Amino acid sequence: MKRSIFASIFAAGALLSGSALAQNAVGIATSSAGSFYHTMGSVMAATLAEKNNIQMRVQPFASPNIHLPAVNAGQIEFGLANIFEADLALGGKDFFAGRTNPNLRLVTVTAPLRTGIFVRKYSDI
């Protein structure tokens, strides 16, 4: 049930983006193979193909700080990044120093990425 709801929402976003209508397949930028974003992009592509007959091609990049400018420029339709990276890209901060990316838009929130910090069991920390 959740997969088909997600696929429908994502498909609506794909169809509402102008460039997606003009092509038979759309691209989704992810981080390198084996990463969390690459796995998420692969699952999205398979789900969209199965549930909505939308062909999505996963295109791995080194990281979101490389592919977000490509999404901004219209060179690829979608990209996966966390909200912190997207904020940096929009504002032209840190990795994107002086290069704002004002054409980025959030289509959907896919999964909360909660992060923990670990130390060894008997650490003094």
* CA end-to-end span of the chain: 43
For the chain, percent of residues with pLDDT exceeding 70 = 82
Residue 1 in tokens: 């049930």
pLDDT band at 108 (very low <50, low <70, confident <90, very high): confident
Q: Name the residue ranges covered by the structural domains of the chain.
A: 2-96
Cα Rg for the chain, rounded, in angstroms?
16
Please check whether the domain covering 2-96 is classified as CATH 3.40.50.300: no
Indicate the burial class of 35 (C-beta count within 10 angstroms; 0-12, 13-18, 19 or more): middle
Angle (CA) 93 94 100, round 5°:
30
More confident residue, 16 or 48: 48
Kindly report which listed range (80-84, 104-108, 109-113) carries the lowest average pLDDT score: 109-113
Mean pLDDT of the chain: 85
pLDDT at 109: 85
pLDDT band at 22 (very low <50, low <70, confident <90, very high): very low
Calpha distance 42→59 (Å, rounded): 10
Calpha distance 23→77 (Å, rounded): 10
